[in-house]
Amino acid sequence: MMMQSGIPLCNSCGESVGLGPNDEAFIACHECNYPMCENCVHDEIKQGRKVCLRCGIPYAAATGLVNPTADNVEKDDVSVNHSTMAHHVESYQDVGVHARSISNFSALESESNAESGNPVWKNRVESWKEKKNKKKVVSKREQEPQIPVEQQMEEKQPMEDVQILSKTIPIPSNKITPYRIVIIARLIILGLFFHYRVTNPVDSAFGLWLTSIICEIWFAVSWVLDQFPKWSPVNRVTYTDRLSARFEKEGEPCQLAPVDFFVSTVDPLKEPPLITANTVLSILAVDYPVEKVSCYVSDDGSAMLTFESLVETAEFARKWVPFCKKYAIEPRAPEFYFSQKIDYLKDKVQPTFVKERRAMKRDYEEYKVRVNALVAKAQKTPDEGWTMQDGTSWPGNNPRDHPGMIQVFLGHSGAHDIDGNELPRLVYVSREKRPGYTHHKKAGAMNALVRVSAVLTNAPYILNLDCDHYVNNSEAVREGMCFMMDPQVGKNVCYIQFPQRFDGIDRSDRYANRNVVFFDVNMRGLDGIQGPVYVGTGTMFNRQALYGYGPPSLHSLPKSSSSCSWCCCFSCCCRSKKPSKDALEMYRDSKREDLDAAIFNLREIENYDEHDRSLLISQMSFEKTFGLSTVFIESTMMEYGGVADSANPSTLIKEAIHVISCGYEEKTEWGKEIGWIYGSVTEDILTGFKMHCRGWRSIYCMPVRPAFKGSAPINLSDRLHQVLRWALGSVEIFLSRHCPLWYGFGGGRLKLLQRLAYINTILYPFTSLPLIAYCSLPAICLLTGKFIIPTLSNIASIWFLGLFTSIILTSVLELRWSGVSIEDLWRNEQFWVIGGVSAHLFAVFQGFLKMLAGVDTNFTVTAKAGDDADFGELYMFKWTTLLIPPTTLLVVNLVGVVAGFSNALNSGYEAWGPLFGKVFFAFWVILHLYPFLKGLMGRQNRTPTIVVLWSVLLASVFSLVWVKVDPFLSKATTITNNCISIDC
């Protein structure tokens, strides 16, 4: 914060800070070098504010202006070593609340001077000068409320005991210690087990034995990758009442941070508008100050149906939102509220509630009729295309070639509710699409929302939801803010992940749609390390983390300048002809740190003159990173949000249209280092991984009442296709440069157990190959009469018994600390096998075809109608090629069991002992595939013809194999040969 003369300006009054006793620039605080003149410091002390506004260190300790033991000691008697600003400017990277690292001045100067003549940039400079001049005439008392909330908290914290907003509760030692002991014991037993298996080959069935050994080793590695990230699970408790007491004081402006909601939808015929509308209504009615909430709906299909249904939704919200807040109803999605089978009169003491509820339900039914009429009308597109009410053609008639569209509903200048109160802002967004551009599907749509929201509202936090995930807990935002707005916890948090909960799933959860084991066990384990992975919905982001910056407390990389980084790379080139991955990673991180430093230094940009600004910021660096929008670039510098003062409100919509143009992201870092990351259909995993690699941590928030609820596909085919998409995304990440096996080692910011968890997320589809082989082994053994395990000795029996015991104990102790039911664990185990031998297998081959050969293969689903009232979709059968491998395994093992028993009956009592082990493994496969078999059968006595044909075909094939083996005659032939050999 240097002027040309070397004397900084006071951050309070805007005047020069003046000179100290040694004719050097006066320093108010030696801890953070906060620029403040001597008079302002004395005024602060007289008013009782004796701590630095930035770092919270008392001025007495920092400057020596006040003696902590005797206030009447003259300041001239205190000897303080005043240093110049130039001397302390290098210490910014190690102190201060938001200090990160200092950018390379020489490198930035060379870039900024090259583009110093840019007229747009000069206009921004002029606007900053006007702001600086205005600040000089504003009194200090009017200026104080503009101090960021976090700094105000830090100012007050040393003087008063502030209650914590959240608390981490470790798992009790009597539950977690035995769990860890069994894990270590199981690891040791695995080593002894494999020692026995490898040193005792089965010569008579060497091929089968070798296959089983390879499969078992892979399963052991997969278990390690899945188990050890759950080493330190934690629980968390939030205190929303304390949050309100601190930031919503009576008689004072609300200081809660704003939040922008993102809702994404594509095809209104596959994603019903009524479901999307319920999600939007639940957001608009959330228990949070209305001026702090904005909802952005992304229509990536540019459908007029979505737009018109949103118009109806905005109108209905004028009645629905005040009704929800007046009676504090839950949930605040009308479809799910009115469908609850509960006594809605319970705890409702208002005499008018029953009457108003009936009227609201009637209004909602009428609203549904209007929306359903729009849906029916949209079933057939007119030949001339859709036309809006004013007679003009709908701009999005061609979903692949249309301009960007933005419509603002409600909000500050829109319609108020029926009581005359303000409503949250609702914005419809459909980004521009043109032929020849890559639009990156959902990830591209989310990045467009990031830019639009930054221009229009620029809330510091973003909460994204799928169109079918509504707000089930109206205090969900407050739950997340207990972490984000905590000065100790929130500064290093990139996102808060809420668990996914679902409606409309059958009680037995046949296909493990609830994913209880993942959300209640794995995610809580990751929360004890570096945080849960991002799962795509129900996530509250720190906007600065989405911009690619590192956390405030990030340690500096060992570099003094960008030239040094290049020197490092050059020296590596001299040694190995190719820069090492660590050096390249460090260079990429150094470029990130340059932007971090620019944001820190520009946080008080009004105090810079044009020359010093050119030293601290490179226009080209920002434009190459964020794109050619000066309004958006300035919004990225505002860490605490808010629309930039230099932007003209009349041009904001025009600028918002500009940032969603299809060519805006070209030659920028969008999708590479900024926003949602491109390169995988599971952009959520990749985006969270990049953030964790930069040193951020995430937090898992599990309120007592689920924060959000959604819908999940419950029939077999749709469930398998959902799993196929997830697995395909993991394979794509494995084959990309972001693979956790080799990416992100340079900074050393990703913890080891966190890396193991991410490695597990990209390797699990490959388990399908050994799993199919292992599930085939029992049938092959039964058909051939061979086995993969030799005759067991006493020691070997102990290892086998110990292995099975440790597996059972691990599961039991995991259930004990997590609270998951044994039925959920068993369903998860079953579907692990079902998905592994079907969807995961196809994902591996499809991923390699797509990434290596450029062949994009799709497996389509053809639906048959179901007519059951309750869970009718559960019995709906949709033929897909994903059903072939598990069907084959079922038939093979069933044929093998029949063949095994036939062989035992023919061979005598000595064959029953080996048969037991073979049949045990065959039944293990059949039991795990039993839900799949029920899915194939549909409803009782209504087996689909295609399944019967497959069963007959496969049974015929293996019957021929059985005849080829010929067990009934093999023994007789052997006896005959023996008789001949001894000349009977």
169: helix, strand or coil:
strand
Q: Is 983 exposed, middle or buried (0-12, 13-18, 19+ CB in 10 A)?
A: exposed
CA 662 distance to own-chain centroid:
25
Is 346 flagged in the annotation as binding? Answer: no
Name 409's bridge partners: 426
Indicate the Cα dihedral angle 28, 31, 35, 38, nearest 10°: 0
Is 38 labelled as part of a ligand binding site?
no
Token output for 826: 């068993």
Gap between the Cα atoms of 713 and 882, Å rounded: 16
Give the residue from 227, 199, 197, 202 showing the smallest Cα distance to 214.
197
Alpha helices in 457-542 (DSSP H): 476-484, 516-517, 523-527
What CA–CA distance (Å, rounded) separates 24 from 82? 7
Check the annotation: does 623 bind a ligand: no
Catalytic residue (one of 299, 300, 509, 594): 300
Count of C-beta atoms within a 10 Å radius of residue 502: 17
Amino acid making up residue 662: C
Contact in structure between 468 and 710 (CB atoms under 8 Å):
yes
786 assigned ligand-binding residue: no
**What DSSP element (H or E) covers 936?**
helix 930-937
Instruction: Measure the CA angle with vertex 429, ends 427 and 430; round to 5°.
Output: 165
**Is 43 among the catalytic positions?**
no
- Pairwise CA distance, residues 197 & 640, whole Å: 60
Q: Which helix (H) or strand (E) holds 776?
A: helix 768-784
Unique residue bearing structure tokens 């066990």 = 521
- Whats the size of the chain, residue-wise? 984
SS (H, E, C) 715-741: CHHHHHHHHHHHHHHHHHHHCCCCCCC
Q: Please, is 363 exposed, middle or buried when counting C-beta atoms within 10 Å of its C-beta (0-12, 13-18, 19+)?
A: middle
**Is the Cβ–Cβ distance between 278 and 335 less than 8 Å?**
yes
824 is in an annotated binding site: no
- Cβ neighbours of residue 957 closer than 8 Å, sequence gap 6 or more: none
Spatial neighbors of 393 by CB under 8 A, at least 6 apart, are 384, 385, 386, 387
For residue 74, which amino acid is it? Answer: E
Pairing of strands 493-497, 697-700: parallel
Say if strands 293-299 and 501-503 run parallel, antiparallel, or are unpaired: unpaired
Report, in angstroms and rounded to the nearest whole number, the Rg of the chain calculated over CA atoms: 33
494 vs 699: CA distance, rounded Å: 8
Known catalytic residue at 300 = yes
- Three-state SS string over 819-865 comes to CCCHHHHHHHHHHHHHHHCCHHHHHHHHHHHHHHCCCCCCCCCECCC
Distance (Å, whole) CA 512 – CA 520: 13
Q: Is 838 annotated as a binding residue?
A: no
Query: CA–CA distance from 724 to each of 253, 320, 836, 969 (Å)?
Result: 50, 39, 10, 46
How far is residue 53's CA from residue 12's CA, in Å, rounded to a whole number?
10
For 369, the 3-state DSSP assignment is helix
C-alpha dihedral over 93, 97, 98, 102, to 10 degrees?
A: -10
Annotation-wise, does 527 bind a ligand? no
Query: How far is CA 733 from each of CA 481, 761, 853, rounded to the nearest angstrom?
Result: 32, 9, 16
Amino acid identity at 361: K
Residue type, 797: S
Rounded to 5 degrees, φ, ψ at 299 are -105, 95
In the set 417, 527, 684, 718, the catalytic residue is 684
Residues 6+ apart with CB under 8 A from 970: none
Binding residues: 264, 270-271, 300, 441-442, 466
Task: Pick out the residues of the known binding site for UDP-alpha-D-glucose.
Answer: 264, 270-271, 300, 441
As annotated, the binding site for Mn(2+) includes 442, 466
Q: Which residues are catalytic?
A: 300, 684
